[in-house]
């Protein structure tokens, strides 16, 4: 019998209790095959994503072996679409929004042309958004939870629309984690993984920026540094579903020790390179 989600042949398929479909081990869970059945009987129903870097919890999967594949086809598709959508939004901003929040590179004699700006936008977004989300995913998997990214189509359109006025409302989707027994400590560490990843990537881009003469590589170094630090600071705000609210609830002193220096670094970097 074939898996109704991916078409793989299975001698003993798993039958979903909610939609009645037959699935392979990789897609046996309702979340993995985008179940269309009635999930109201479950302990927790995952709501639609409200922001980019959040997740919701469902039944615990602790003790259940992870599927053989690290990524499902749906997740790969969603990550690529979200990356391209955000990259295009960043590209629009780099070419001049009304308020110019992201529209200028550091003053250089040989600035990038449009095609180079598009490449810069995609690389900066790929390093920032994609690695941020994957750090959430693999940290959660380390604790034994199922975790996958799902895009939010309306959020992608919103990102492009807001980029026209010089500000990107980045809400392309969310990393969802299934597990009802996530502790406050685990939640905080999973949340902190994203911003810390951005910090490491920003440092690598900063070294490129310092070592490069004016031109494409230098502009890429600046954009990658700026976007990754900005993403880390924004997500560490202790508001609503952002990463910062989970880190703050877990360890207030630890949150302050990361957030305050990062905010100062962001302000200093922008002031010195764009002033």
pLDDT tens, residue by residue, 180-191: 678 889 989 999
Query: In the chain, which residue ranges form alpha helices assigned H by DSSP?
Result: 73-94, 114-125, 131-142, 153-163, 184-211, 216-235, 243-250, 252-274
Based on the domain organization, do 23 and 90 belong to the same domain?
Answer: no
SS (H, E, C) 140-202: HHHCCCEEEEEECHHHHHHHHHHHCCCCCCCCCEEEEEECCCCCHHHHHHHHHHHHHHHHHHH
Query: How much is the pTM?
Result: 0.67
Based on the domain organization, do 147 and 239 belong to the same domain?
Answer: yes
pLDDT tens, residue by residue, 101-146: 444 455 444 456 677 888 888 898 888 888 999 999 999 988 888 8
Catalytic residue among 10, 75, 116, 133: 133
Based on the domain organization, do 31 and 59 belong to the same domain?
Answer: no
Residue 119: is it exposed, middle or buried by C-beta count within 10 angstroms (0-12/13-18/19+)?
middle
pLDDT tens, residue by residue, 11-29: 788 888 888 888 888 888 8
Based on the domain organization, do 37 and 51 belong to the same domain?
Answer: no
**Statement: residue 236 has pLDDT above 70:** yes
What is each CA distance from 261 to 109, 194, 250, in whole angstroms?
32, 16, 19
Based on the domain organization, do 34 and 131 belong to the same domain?
Answer: no
Q: Which domain holds residue 2?
A: 1-41
Categorize the per-residue pLDDT at 66 as very low, low, confident or very high, splitting at 50, 70 and 90.
very low
Based on the domain organization, do 210 and 100 belong to the same domain?
Answer: yes
Average pLDDT over residues 194-200: 93
Based on the domain organization, do 37 and 52 belong to the same domain?
Answer: no
Based on the domain organization, do 9 and 138 belong to the same domain?
Answer: no
Pair of tokens at residue 39: 């999930």
Mean pLDDT of all residues belonging to the chain = 79
Look at residue 132 in the predicted model and tell me its pLDDT: 92
Query: What is the spatial distance between Cα 253 and Cα 236, in angstroms, rounded to a whole number?
Result: 13
Pair of tokens at residue 35: 């179940």
> What is the number of structural domains in the chain?
2
Query: What is the spatial distance between Cα 223 and Cα 181, in angstroms, rounded to a whole number?
Result: 39
Look at residue 176 in the predicted model and tell me its pLDDT: 82
Q: CATH number for the domain including 12?
A: 4.10.1110.10
Q: Which of 35-44, 67-76, 92-101, 240-249 has the highest mean pLDDT?
A: 240-249
Which of 275, 216, 201 lies closest to 94 in space, CA to CA? 216
Q: Look up 133 and say whether it is catalytic.
A: yes
């Amino acid at each position: 019998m074939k898996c109704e989600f991916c078409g793989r042949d299975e001698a003993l398929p798993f039958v979903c209790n909610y939609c009645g479909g037959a699935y392979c081990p990789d897609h046996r869970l309702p979340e993995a095959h985008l179940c269309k059945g009635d999930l109201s009987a479950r302990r927790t129903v995952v709501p639609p994503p409200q922001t980019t870097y959040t997740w919701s919890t469902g039944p615990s999967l602790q003790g259940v072996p992870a599927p053989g594949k690290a990524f499902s086809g749906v997740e790969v598709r969603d990550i690529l679409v979200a990356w391209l959508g955000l990259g295009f939004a960043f590209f629009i901003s780099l070419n001049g929004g009304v308020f110019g929040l992201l529209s200028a590179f550091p003053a250089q004699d040989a600035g990038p042309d449009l095609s180079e700006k598009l490449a810069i936008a995609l690389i900066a977004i790929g390093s920032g958004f994609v690695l941020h989300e994957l750090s959430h995913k693999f940290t959660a998997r380390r604790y034994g939870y199922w975790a996958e990214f799902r895009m939010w189509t309306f959020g992608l359109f919103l990102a492009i629309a807001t980029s026209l006025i010089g500000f990107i409302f980045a809400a392309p989707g969310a990393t969802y984690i299934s597990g009802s027994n996530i502790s406050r400590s685990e939640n905080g560490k999973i949340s902190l993984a994203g911003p810390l990843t951005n910090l490491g990537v920003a440092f690598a881009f900063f070294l490129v920026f310092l070592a490069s003469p004016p031109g494409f590589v230098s502009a890429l170094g600046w954009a990658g540094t700026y976007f990754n630090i900005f993403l880390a600071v924004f997500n560490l705000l202790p508001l609503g579903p952002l990463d910062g609210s989970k880190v703050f609830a877990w360890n207030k002193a630890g949150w302050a020790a990361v957030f305050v220096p990062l905010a100062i670094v962001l302000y200093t970097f922008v002031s010195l390179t764009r002033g």
